[in-house]
A = this chain, B = another copy of it.
Amino acid sequence: MVSAQDRRWLAAAARLADLRARPLSRPNPGVGAIIVADGRVVARGWTQAGGRPHAEAIALAAAGTAARGATMYVSLEPCAHISARGPSCADLTAASGLARVVVGCGDPDPRTAGSGIARIRAAGITVDQADCPMAHQSLAGYLMQRTAGRPHVTLKLALSLDGCIAMASGESQWITGPEARAHTHLMRARSDAILVGGGTLRADAPRLDVRLPGLESQSPQRWVLTHGAVPEGWRALPAPDAIHGVMPHVQYLFVEGGAGAAAAFVAAGLVDRLLIYRAPIIIGGGRPGIADIGLSRLADAHGQWRFVRSQRLGNDGLEVYDRSPCSQASSPP
C-alpha cells in the first residue's frame, strides 16, 4: 500500500533528482533517494556527476546504522547490475537493514527491469511500487531514450504577443527581457544538448552557452540542423528524425529555433515540451516564430498540446505546454 504521505516523500525524492542530479548525472538517469525513519529524513542522496555513485549508495552511506528499520523512497527502481564502478544498488539495499523501499518508477533497462525490486524483496524487505508522476517527469529524458531511442525534446520560443521572433528587417534583440533570458540560460544548464537551425547559426552566430554564475561549466553540446559543414565545436544533425540513435547520451535536447528548425521538429512530431517566453510587445508584420509545418486541416492542430503552467518573468510571461498524451506519438523510424 502506498499512502498519500508516501507519495509526498516520493515527489520530494524526484524533486531532489530534478534539481540536483540533472543534467550532471549523464549518461545515467538522475535519481533521488530519501531515507525516512519515524517521519523524519535521516539521509538523502542523488546521482552524482558522471553517473556514480548512485542516489541509493549515497543515501545508505549517509544513513549508516540509521537505515535499520527505516523506509527508503527512491524515484527509480534500484539497479540490479554490477558495474566496474561499484556494486548494484539492489545488493546494497538488500544488505542495508531497511524495512521498506518505495519506488516511484520501474526501470526499463533490461539489466534491471523488475530484478532490482525482486532482489530487494528476496532479502525480506517490503517493496512498494507507486506510479509517481513527479518521478516519471524527473526521468523524462532517460525514459524517452530507453523507450524511443531519442532524447526528450523541448522547443523554446521567445515571441511577441503576435508570435514574431524578429521584425521584418531581422532585428531581434531583444524580444524578451533580462529575467526571461536568464531563465533560458537556466534551461540550457539543465539540458545535455542544444540545437539551432542553420539559418540562425549563420545569422546570429549564437554562443548558446550558459552565462549564469557558477553554471558556466554546464554548457551543453551544441548541434545545428544542417546538411552542410559546421563550425568547430558544433555537430551537424541532418534532420529532426536523426535524433534517434545519434545522441544516445543526450537525455534532454533544447531546441532554440529559428522558425525553420522549430517547424521541422514540430512537423516531425518530435517536440515533447514547448517553452514560450512571451513578451508584452506587438511587432506587427514581423517574422513568425514557426514556419510552415505542412498542416492541411485546422482540426489537426487541436489536441496536440496540454497546458502545464504559466508564470511571470519580469515583464514577460512563460507558458509551458506538453505534448498531449492523446496526440500522435513519435516512434523510432
- A-side residues, CB < 8 A to B, are 157, 159-164, 167-168, 171-175, 263, 266-267, 274, 276, 278-286, 288-295, 297-298, 301-302, 304-307, 310, 312, 315, 317, 319, 321
Contact = CB atoms under 8 A, between A and B. Distances in A.
A289 B317 CA distance: 19
B295 A283 contact: yes
B315 A276 contact: no
B163 A288 contact: yes
The 3 closest A-B pairs by CB, nearest first: A163-B163, A285-B292, A284-B293
The A contact surface, by secondary structure, is loop
A263 B285 contact: yes
Contacts of A312: 307
Contact of A161 (B281, B297, B321): B321
Taking the full assembly, how many copies of this chain does it contain? 2
A236 B12 CA distance: 62
Contacts of A286: 295
A292 B284 contact: yes
A284 B280 contact: no
Contact of A304 (B276, B278, B282, B285): B282
A285 to B, nearest CB: 3
B297 A281 contact: no
13 contacts: A162-B163, A162-B290, A163-B163, A163-B288, A174-B298, A175-B298, A267-B284, A278-B319, A282-B290, A283-B293, A307-B317, A310-B310, A310-B317
